[in-house]
Amino acid sequence: MTDNLIKRNDEEGYIIAWKHKLNHIDQGKFDTKMTYGKAIKECEKLIDENNEKTYWPEKSEDSQDGFKFP
């Protein structure tokens, strides 16, 4: 059970999803696929550049089902 909760930095197939902190209708996803480790670093960079939105890595196959907040 815990195997699916552990994410490795070299695990492929992640994108970055985001949501505006105050306007919850304003949300989106970036199409670029990357490793989990790179996605985490990109999220941290984006958060530093824009503190009005929150960013998180999301498995790209999961994002096809619509918006999911982590």
Q: In Å, how far are 37, 40, 64 from 13, measured between CA atoms? A: 11, 13, 12
pLDDT score recorded for residue 7: 82
pLDDT score recorded for residue 19: 94
pLDDT score recorded for residue 1: 44
In contact, 65 and 23? CB cutoff 8 Å: no
* 5 has a pLDDT exceeding 90: no
Q: How do residues 17-66 score in pLDDT, each as one tens digit?
A: 999 999 888 989 999 999 999 999 999 999 999 989 999 999 887 655 55
d(CA 63, CA 10): 19
DSSP state of 46: H
d(CA 64, CA 29): 10
pTM: 0.75
Terminal CA-to-CA distance of the chain, rounded, Å?
18
